[in-house]
Copies of this chain bind each other. A is one copy, B any other.
Amino acid sequence: MEEDDFSLCVLDNARKAARAVSRHYDKLARRIGMTPGQFSVLVTIHKYADATTAELAERLSMDRTTLVRNVALVERKGLVASQLVQDGRSKQYRLSPKGEELLNKALPLWRRAQADVKNHLGSDEFLRAIDTLKRLSEL
């Protein structure tokens, strides 16, 4: 075991990074009563209006059942409205006016968080980092 270098553990490092990044965005998101995960969901619903549950999960590379709960959460908060599709199985989602409003309040904070990271890493490294994260997501 001593020959194993756990400081190179991808799992550890990926989770640590996600925790650190989440904490950073969380500090800003809390000011307007949101969590980082909810922001992601709102952005995706805004971008892909009328997408179904499974489509949204696909976009977010998230387990469908995880998304079900996350969407239910923002729906309870009145940020998202759902609508049944004809066949009676699927649901479609849209931001409510309240959801649009909150998203607009969140945007400046998001831009600041992005800028903070870019500052920390440097512009070149920033783009490389995004690319690296995308590669890891394809795993």
Contacts and interface: CB of A to CB of B under 8 A. Distances in A.
A130 B17 contact: no
Nearest to A116: B139
A135 B139 contact: no
Main secondary structure of the interface of A (DSSP, over half): helix
B22 A14 contact: yes
A132 B125 contact: yes
A60 B116 CA distance: 23
Interface in A89-139: 103-104, 107, 110-111, 113-114, 116-117, 120-121, 125, 128-130, 132-139
A37 B16 CA distance: 11
A61 to B, nearest CB: 4
A30 interface: no
Interface stretch (A1-9, A71-79, A80-88): A1-9
Interface of A: 1, 4, 6, 8-25, 36-37, 39-40, 43, 46-47, 60-63, 103-104, 107, 110-111, 113-114, 116-117, 120-121, 125, 128-130, 132-139
29 contacts: A1-B103, A1-B107, A4-B110, A6-B47, A10-B129, A11-B22, A11-B39, A12-B40, A12-B60, A13-B130, A13-B134, A15-B37, A16-B60, A16-B62, A17-B134, A19-B61, A19-B137, A20-B136, A20-B137, A20-B138, A23-B139, A24-B139, A116-B139, A117-B136, A120-B139, A121-B136, A125-B135, A128-B132, A132-B133
